[in-house]
Amino acid sequence: MIDRFTTIRERMVQEQLLARGIADPRVLAAMGEVPRHLFVDDAMRARAYGDHPLPIAAGQTISQPYIVAFMTQSLQLQGHEKVLEIGTGSGYQAAVLSRLCEKVYTVERVNTLLAGARKLFDTLRYFNIVAKLDDGTLGWPEFGPYDAIIVTAGGPEIPQPLVEQLADPGRLVIPVGDQDIQNLHLLIKNSGKIHVEQLASVRFVELIGEHGWGR
Ligand code: SAH
């Protein structure tokens, strides 16, 4: 999409992603394409491509571009996958994923956020994203298993329903820790075995639900 933010978006890709080691060309292309400024409030458009997270409605945040790229890259998407996202928020992460896989299922617990994200998916013609209102710590069993799962809020542990709904082979990325600071965990399922790696220290909003923090 060519818009007045194209140059600034290209600079974001070069300076914040490529220069810091994001190497997957498909991830770089997707982040160069999705109009991030449309996923934030009008008043924050000018800061949309800055090297930081930004507030969205309902006290939530859209992650820093580098974190979106880093988490996305860790899923190693090729294009044929079915991906589940927990925490739709602004819809930005789902939009990036939608450029890189076959279909995105995304779950959000705050109705106003879900409504805003759905509208954007429509406007931008990202027709391979479906979204629903629910407690995402329960996953979305009817469409599983998923080749990749990404959780964009931090919880005390990896929700068991998500591990069960992950395909084999499959990759799941989630921030796990306390309410202030978490460690980005990458769970890899392969040949019936599960392996967990810790990738980086991160700060996300709370994952609230049955297998997250209580309400
Ligand atoms: N991926 C989003 C980031 C949003 S912040 C983006 O690109 O903008 C995390 C989101 O997770 C918030 O919108 C919050 O409401 C949501 N969330 C927290 N707990 C949840 C749960 N159990 N199920 C679904 N969504 C949840």
**In angstroms, rounded to a whole number, what is the distance separating the alpha carbons of residues 126 and 91?**
11
Return the ligand 1 atom nearest residue 62 CA: 8
CA 108 – ligand 1 centroid, Å: 6
Structure tokens of 113? 């956020």
What is the amino acid identity at position 71? M
At residue 2, the pLDDT reads: 73
pLDDT value for 11: 97
Cβ atoms of 199 and 74 closer than 8 Å:
yes
Q: Out of 63, 74, 90, 98, pick the active-site residue.
A: 63
Q: Which of 13, 52, 12 is nearest to 29 (CA)?
A: 13
- Residue keyed to tokens 């394409």: 33
pLDDT at 214: 87
CA of 131 to the centre of ligand 1 (A): 12
State in Å: Cα 93 to ligand 1 middle.
10
Instruction: List the alpha helices (DSSP H) in the chain.
Output: 6-12, 25-33, 65-74, 92-98, 111-123, 160-165
pLDDT of residue 3: 80
**What pLDDT does residue 175 have?**
98
Q: Which of 109, 100, 17 is nearest to 63 (CA)?
A: 17
- CA-wise closest residue to 93 among 127, 60, 64, 58: 64
User: How far from the centroid of its chain's Cα atoms is residue 179's Cα?
Assistant: 19
pLDDT in tens, 121-179: 999 999 999 999 999 999 999 999 999 999 999 999 999 999 999 999 999 999 999 99
**Protein residue with its CA nearest to atom 26 in ligand 1:** 87
What confidence score (pLDDT) does residue 4 get? Answer: 86
Residue 74 annotated to the active site: no
Superfamily of domain 52-202 in CATH is Vaccinia Virus protein VP39 (3.40.50.150)
Region for 90 from its dihedrals, namely left if φ exceeds 0, alpha if ψ lies in -120 to 50, beta otherwise: alpha
pLDDT value of residue 190: 98
- Mutate which of 34, 36, 208, 211 for ligand 1 pocket (most atoms within 8 A of beta carbon): 208
Alpha-carbon span 105 to 76, nearest angstrom: 17
| Token pair recorded at residue 208 | 């609230």
- What spacing in Å lies between the alpha carbon of 208 and ligand 1's midpoint? 9
User: Tokens 């879900």, residue?
Assistant: 114
Domain boundary assignment for the chain = 52-202
Q: Which protein residue has the closest C-alpha to ligand 1 atom 16?
A: 87
d(CA 68, CA 112): 22
Identity of the residue numbered 76: Q
Residue 17 is encoded by which pair of tokens? 């992603």
Which portions of the chain are predicted below pLDDT 50?
none
Number of other residues whose CB lies within 10 A of the CB of residue 62: 23
Ligand 1 binding residues, C-beta < 6 A: 60-63, 86-87, 89-90, 92-93, 107-110, 113, 135-137, 152-153, 205, 207-209, 212
